Every structure is written in structure tokens, then in C-alpha cells.
């Protein structure tokens, strides 16, 4: 009951927030100043979580090659086949909700609240929102953003400058903490400042490794990452937005969109199915169903809906493994999992800390944390397997990356897509989808597959999303249009 009441309150706060409604002082609605700052913060958390757990969860699920379009359905053909441009409006809702929702409400809170703990929590969420914007778009309005009518045409800043800016904001806000108890209503972390500080440190790690990948003061950020890991002041558990319940209208938003409002459209992609099967991973059963035809786990070739019917004239829904909706029914939205954090620590210890034993410890903790979050038994036995055992791995950095990809499935698909781009793990297969479908022995399990039907002009995988059409229409400073093959700044390879 508590979760139901909380979610109802959050929905109401979103409706009352100053971000989306032009109420023109209608007496039937409160003005922004009538909504006290303590009641605005849940809507901020909700806007950010919804972007991660609904729209990004969906399209990044395709880009990470967890999801594919069901053979006899059509909802996500354009995403599966990378047939996207600014007119597709792929990112428009996220862009609007992050800027006009979360970030604008944060500006309002900061203008009226001098509680240093409140300010710090706002800065952490602000940093998270801008990280999402950069990871999707590369550039975004930052230094001139959120000024309203004072500057309706803000410039777009470079991603590296935005990252440097939000890191500085985090440092300044944390240095100003004075021991005050949070006054903001905080459904996400329940006003626990140790958790907020741990969340901020984990965000720093995410951003540090991206700056390192881009070659932006790589040595400096490596030192910072090592020092942060050594201090070991991170959050416990997972950082989640956990307000959903098994009640009509209160389901997880991605579940609501894909299993209540739409007919089932999503099946499992070939790479994740093949990797789970090859490594004998019991997590395969968590959100992937055996196919109806033979009771086997079978993934769909990315972008393969149309050509597969040519390669196999009788290819239907029954031939491939559906994605189970039930685990997402009232699943929380995962903003940062303990598993992801431990994988980051393992990478930093291995690459920059020169501490292989600590890297192993973090790697195994990451896998076990993901098993535990899903309620799947057998983590110890799984880690003893030849293909995932730390001591038997010849390329430990690749092992970390592959298992991170496996663990982010049905957790945080946006982060999975970003990590694929940053690390090139999983690698991209040199074989075509048709080659792999015809002869699976030519394929290395888990490798990304260039979509069999692919509308990217330069070919390959999706490296960014298009600029939002509403930004193009409203801001003359929006940069020239980009191709899906154009990389964000930290995707330097």
C-alpha cells in the first residue's frame, strides 16, 4: 500500500510541477511558487528515471542487441533496422522531460532552497541528467541552458565541457555540505546522505572512464579514478526508482507501454541469447523465453525480420525467443546497479590500479550482485565455468566487459549501449547476419552483428541518436544534423 500511495503522489507531483503545464495562473491549478520545493523533488527523480527506464530502456535495448523486432509484428522496425533521423522523434520525449521537467524543476528548487544537502542531491541528479544528454547527443545546451525567456536560444556545449562542468558542480556542492538533514521529499534514497555521496562517486567513475576513453586529461582522470576506488565510499545496494506496483496504472512504464498498450513486439536478439547459452548462464531464463516451436532459446538476427524470411521462408514468431514481460511488471528502474559499480571498480583496478587480486574480487562481486538482484541461484558455480572464470581468462578486460554487458540486460540498457561504444566490448562480428544465420559456427558468441537490414549510410552500428526535432524547431543554435554513425566525443575508436 505504501508503494501505491507513493506512486500516486509522484504522478500528482509531476502534473503539478512547473515543467510541462502552461497554466496561466488558472485558480484551479497551483502556480510554481505554490508548490513547495520539498514536494518538487520526487517529480525530478521521476522524470530522470522515466527517461532511463522507458524510452532509453527500449531503444538502447535494440542498440545493445538485447532486443529485436518480432518476425510477425512491426512496432519497432525502424529502430531494429536503424532507419532513424530527426523526424523519427526518437529522443524528443526524453529531451523535453529532462530539460523542461527535471532540470527546470531543479533550477526552481535551487532558487528557493539553501539547504546544502538538498542542493547536493539536486546537483547529483542534474549531473546524471546531463550525462544522459551527452551520451545520447554528444553536445547539449549547458552553460546557457534553463534561462527561460532571458535566453531562449542557448548555445550547445561540447560534451567534454559539459562533463567537466558537472564534475566541478558535484565537487563544489559536496564541499559545501554542512551536515544538514535533507528537507526535500526523497522517495529514491530516503534522505540518506551517505547514499547520495556514494551515488555521486559512482557517477564520477562513469564520467572519468569516458574522459579517459576520449583522451581528455587521461592521466589525471586515471589518478582520480584510482583514488576514488581506494577511498571506497560508494552506495550500497542498487540505486533504483522503486515506486511501481502490480496494479492497473501503476506498472513499470516500459512494461505498461509494451505489454499493456501494445501487442507483444519484442524478441530476444541473437547476440545475448548466444552468449548466455555458450557460457551456460542460468540468467537466460530470467527474461528470455524458449521458443514455441522447439522449446529452445533462439535469438533473432539484428535487423533480420525481413531477410530471415528469405533465408528461411517459414520464419515466424514461434521460431524465436520472446522477451518476457512479467519480470518488468513492477520492476524498479535501475539508475545505477551495484553490479555495474563493481565492474567499473574491477576495470579500474585492472587497468590503472595494478591490482589484479582486487580486480578479481570486484569482478566476482559484480556477477554475484547481478544474480542476487534477479533472484537467480548458482553464481558460484557459474563463475567456475571455463569461459567466465577470472583465473582462466586470457583477456580479463574483455571478460569484465562481456559480463557487464550480460548483467546490464533488463537492468540499464542505456548504460549497456554506452559501454559497448566506449570499450568496443562486445566486439562487432566481421560476418554478416546471413553468414551467421546460415552457419552459426562462424560466429563468436556475444559479438555485435551489423543489422541485416541497415539504413545507416556509413553502415555499422548505431553510435548516437539524432538531435530532437523539437530542439531543431525551437533553437537556431542546434548543431547541424548528424548521422547515426557519427560518434560522441568519448567514443574515439
Residues 343-379 have pLDDT tens digits of 999 999 999 999 999 999 999 999 999 999 999 999 9
Residue, of 54 and 29, whose pLDDT is higher: 54
In angstroms, the CA 277 to CA 428 distance is 19
Helix (H, G, I), strand (E, B) or coil at 427: coil
**Which grid cell sits at 24?**
496561466
> How high is the pLDDT of residue 478?
97
pLDDT at 17 over 70: no
CB contact set of 177 (below 8 Å; sequence gap of 6+): 116, 117, 120, 193
Q: Please name every residue paired with 403 in a beta bridge, in sequence order, or none if there are none.
A: none
**For the segment 79-116, what is each residue's pLDDT rounded down to a tens digit?**
999 999 999 999 999 999 999 999 999 999 999 999 99
pLDDT-based confidence at residue 233 (cuts at 50, 70, 90): very high
Start-to-end CA span in the chain (Å): 49
Per the CB < 8 A criterion, the answer to whether 239 and 189 are in contact is yes
**For residue 121, which of 173, 176, 48, 162 has the smallest C-alpha distance?**
173
Q: Please name every residue paired with 428 in a beta bridge, in sequence order, or none if there are none.
A: 448
> How high is the pLDDT of residue 313?
84
> Given the DSSP bridges, would you call strands 266-268 and 239-241 parallel, antiparallel or unpaired?
unpaired
In angstroms, the CA 326 to CA 391 distance is 36
With residue 10 as reference, give the H or E element that holds it: helix 2-16
pLDDT-based confidence at residue 390 (cuts at 50, 70, 90): very high
Return the CATH class of domain 2-248+329-430+458-474. mainly alpha
**For residue 415, which of 235, 205, 275 has the smallest C-alpha distance?**
205
The DSSP symbol for 237 reads: S
pLDDT at 117 over 60: yes
pLDDT at 26 over 50: no
> How high is the pLDDT of residue 388?
98
Q: Lowest-pLDDT range, 106-120, 278-292, 301-315, 426-440?
A: 301-315
pLDDT at 29 over 80: no
Strands of 156-294 (E only): list them: 156-157, 239-241, 266-268
pLDDT at 328 over 70: yes
Q: How far is CA 59 from CA 55, 66, 250, 292, 436, in A?
A: 6, 10, 22, 25, 24
**For the segment 182-207, what is each residue's pLDDT rounded down to a tens digit?**
999 999 999 999 999 999 999 999 99
Q: 464 — phi, psi (to 5°)? A: -165, 170
Mean of the per-residue pLDDT values of the chain = 93
**For residue 160, which of 134, 128, 125 has the smallest C-alpha distance?**
134
**For the segment 40-84, what is each residue's pLDDT rounded down to a tens digit?**
999 999 999 999 999 999 999 999 999 999 999 999 999 999 999
In angstroms, the CA 278 to CA 405 distance is 15
With residue 16 as reference, give the H or E element that holds it: helix 2-16
> How high is the pLDDT of residue 439?
96
CB contact set of 227 (below 8 Å; sequence gap of 6+): none
Angle between helices 413-423 and 396-408 (to 10 degrees): 160
> How high is the pLDDT of residue 344?
98
In angstroms, the CA 335 to CA 353 distance is 26
The DSSP symbol for 102 reads: I
In angstroms, the CA 338 to CA 375 distance is 15
pLDDT at 20 over 80: no
Number of neighbours of residue 59 by Cβ within 10 angstroms = 24
> Given the DSSP bridges, would you call strands 156-157 and 266-268 parallel, antiparallel or unpaired?
unpaired
pLDDT at 7 over 60: no
- In this prediction the pTM is 0.93
pLDDT at 22 over 80: no
**For the segment 245-299, what is each residue's pLDDT rounded down to a tens digit?**
999 989 999 999 999 988 879 999 999 999 999 999 999 999 999 999 999 999 9
Dihedral angle sign, alpha carbons of residues 2, 195, 353, 424? positive
pLDDT-based confidence at residue 398 (cuts at 50, 70, 90): very high
Per the CB < 8 A criterion, the answer to whether 342 and 363 are in contact is yes
Amino acid at each position: 500500500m505504501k508503494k501505491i500511495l507513493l506512486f500516486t503522489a509522484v504522478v500528482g507531483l509531476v502534473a503539478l510541477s512547473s515543467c510541462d503545464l502552461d497554466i496561466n495562473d488558472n485558480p484551479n491549478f497551483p502556480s510554481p511558487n505554490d508548490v513547495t520545493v520539498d514536494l518538487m523533488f520526487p517529480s525530478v527523480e521521476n522524470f530522470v528515471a522515466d527517461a532511463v527506464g522507458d524510452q532509453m530502456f527500449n531503444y538502447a535495448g535494440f542498440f545493445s542487441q538485447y532486443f529485436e523486432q518480432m518476425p510477425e509484428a512491426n512496432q519497432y522496425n525502424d529502430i531494429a533496422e536503424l532507419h532513424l533521423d530527426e523526424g523519427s522523434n526518437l529522443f524528443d520525449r526524453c529531451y523535453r522531460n529532462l530539460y523542461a521537467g527535471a532540470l527546470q524543476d531543479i533550477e526552481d528548487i535551487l532558487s528557493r532552497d539553501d539547504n546544502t544537502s538538498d542542493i547536493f542531491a539536486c546537483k547529483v541528479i542534474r549531473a546524471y541528467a546531463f550525462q544522459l544528454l551527452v551520451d545520447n547527443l554528444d553536445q547539449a545546451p549547458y552553460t546557457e541552458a534553463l534561462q527561460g525567456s532571458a535566453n531562449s536560444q542557448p548555445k550547445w556545449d561540447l560534451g567534454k565541457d559539459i562533463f567537466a562542468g558537472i564534475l566541478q558542480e558535484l565537487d563544489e556542492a559536496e564541499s559545501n555540505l554542512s551536515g544538514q538533514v535533507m528537507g526535500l521529499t526523497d522517495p529514491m534514497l530516503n534522505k540518506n546522505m551517505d547514499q547520495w555521496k556514494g551515488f555521486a562517486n559512482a557517477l564520477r567513475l562513469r564520467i572519468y572512464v569516458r574522459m579517459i576513453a576520449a583522451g581528455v586529461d587521461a592521466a589525471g582522470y586515471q589518478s582520480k579514478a584510482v583514488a576514488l576506488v581506494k577511498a571506497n565510499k560508494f552506495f550500497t545496494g542498487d540505486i533504483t526508482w522503486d515506486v511501481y506496483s502490480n496494479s492497473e496504472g501503476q506498472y513499470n512504464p516500459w512494461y505498461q507501454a509494451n505489454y499493456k498498450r501494445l501487442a507483444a513486439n519484442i524478441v530476444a536478439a541473437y547476440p545475448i541469447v548466444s552468449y548466455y547459452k555458450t557460457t551456460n548462464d542460468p540468467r537466460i531464463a530470467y527474461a528470455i523465453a524458449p521458443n514455441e516451436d522447439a522449446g529452445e532459446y533462439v535469438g533473432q538476427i539484428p535487423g533480420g525480420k525481413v531477410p530471415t524470411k528469405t533465408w528461411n521462408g517459414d520464419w515466424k514468431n514461434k521460431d524465436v525467443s520472446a522477451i518476457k514481460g512479467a519480470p518488468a511488471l513492477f520492476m524498479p528502474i535501475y539508475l545505477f546497479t551495484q553490479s555495474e559499480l563493481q565492474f567499473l571498480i574491477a576495470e579500474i583496478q585492472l587497468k590503472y590500479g595494478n591490482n589484479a587480486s582486487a580486480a578479481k574480487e570486484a569482478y566476482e562481486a559484480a556477477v554475484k550482485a547481478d544474480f542476487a538482484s534477479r533472484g537467480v541461484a548458482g553464481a558460484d558455480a557459474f563463475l567456475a565455468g571455463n569461459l567466465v572464470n577470472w583465473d582462466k581468462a586470457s583477456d580479463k578486460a574483455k571478460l569484465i566487459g562481456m559480463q557487464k554487458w550480460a548483467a546490464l540486460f533488463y537492468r540499464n540498457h542505456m548504460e549497456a549501449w554506452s559501454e559497448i561504444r566506449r570499450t568496443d566490448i562486445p566486439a562487432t562480428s566481421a560476418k554478416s547476419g546471413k553468414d551467421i544465420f546460415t552457419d552459426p559456427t562462424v560466429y563468436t558468441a556475444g559479438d555485435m552483428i551489423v543489422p541485416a537490414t541497415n539504413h545507416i549510410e556509413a553502415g555499422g552500428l548505431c553510435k548516437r541518436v539524432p538531435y530532437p526535432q523539437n530542439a531543431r524547431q525551437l533553437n537556431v543554435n542546434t548543431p547541424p544534423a548528424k548521422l547515426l554513425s557519427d560518434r560522441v566525443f568519448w567514443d574515439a575508436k
